A and B are shown apart, each in its own frame.
Chain A
Amino acid sequence: MKNKFQQIDGWIKLIVNKEIYSLQTIYSAGYVFMDKAYLYLDMEGDQEIAIWLKPKEKDVDLNILGCQFMEELLNYAHYFSSLEKNAETTKLLLQRALFSAAPSLVHEAEDEEIQALIKELEEEEKKKESKEK
């Protein structure tokens, strides 16, 4: 099995698959670590990303630092996947909250929807007419 943690000259190199951890996840975890480590990202082939970490403080266990980074990655991966999964529900809740605060918005939204439908029907009819000609 390929070793995913390597220690070189005071650095620890972690290899992660970009299919599993998105760039957004890696940047966010990296941002959290900027206070305690220097970070460098590099492509490792087409599918993998190498994350190099060097602690700013002396006497830091590199393996522990690597494990902490992996935990942060998992944490952000979960956060972003939940965000995506709950996006529609969040949108509905926000809409409901806005509509209950200002009921006139409901009528405006309905009017806009009706206008869009009418426009769509008109365009379809125009297309039909042009085809018949």
Chain B
Amino acid sequence: MIPFLKEEQHQRKLEFSTSLYTQESVVALQKALEQSLNMIVAEQKIVIDVSTLSDRDCLEILNFCLYHTKKQ
């Protein structure tokens, strides 16, 4: 179980604060997954719809985005 995953109306969403993660890291994620996840870029956060992904995939996404943010 992932406590910070937002679940509403059968949708699971991961939120990344734009102060901590770069938008490029999320774009790199889309490319790496070779599938387009719904993504909303708001003023202070990037929200990704991960409804189609397993918990394990979500966990891997976390480290992927952090790695790509650090790399930049």
- Cβ–Cβ contact A8 & B3, under 8 A: yes
- Cβ–Cβ contact B70 & A27, under 8 A: yes
* Interface of chain B: mostly helix, strand, loop or mixed: mixed
Interface residues on B, range: 10 to 19
* Interface of chain A: mostly helix, strand, loop or mixed: strand
Chain A residues with CB below 8 A from B44, complex form: 43
Chain A residues with CB below 8 A from B3, complex form: 8-9, 11, 52
- Cβ–Cβ contact A40 & B1, under 8 A: no
Chain B residues with CB below 8 A from A54, complex form: 59
B20 within 8 A of A: yes
- Cβ–Cβ contact A34 & B63, under 8 A: yes
Chain B residues with CB below 8 A from A8, complex form: 3
- Cβ–Cβ contact A34 & B20, under 8 A: no
Chain B residues with CB below 8 A from A43, complex form: 17, 19-20, 44
B62 within 8 A of A: yes
- Cβ–Cβ contact A30 & B20, under 8 A: no
CB distance from A44 to the nearest CB of B (A): 10
Contact with B along A46-60 (1 / 0, CB 8 A): 000100101000000
Chain B residues with CB below 8 A from A11, complex form: 2-3
Chain A residues with CB below 8 A from B15, complex form: 42
CB distance from B29 to the nearest CB of A (A): 14
- Cβ–Cβ contact B4 & A41, under 8 A: no
Chain B residues with CB below 8 A from A83, complex form: none
Please name 14 further chain A to chain B contacts, defined as beta carbons within 8 Å, in addition to the given A34-B66, A40-B4, sorted by A numbering. Answer: A10-B1, A11-B3, A30-B70, A34-B67, A38-B59, A39-B62, A39-B63, A39-B66, A40-B62, A41-B21, A41-B66, A42-B4, A42-B17, A43-B17
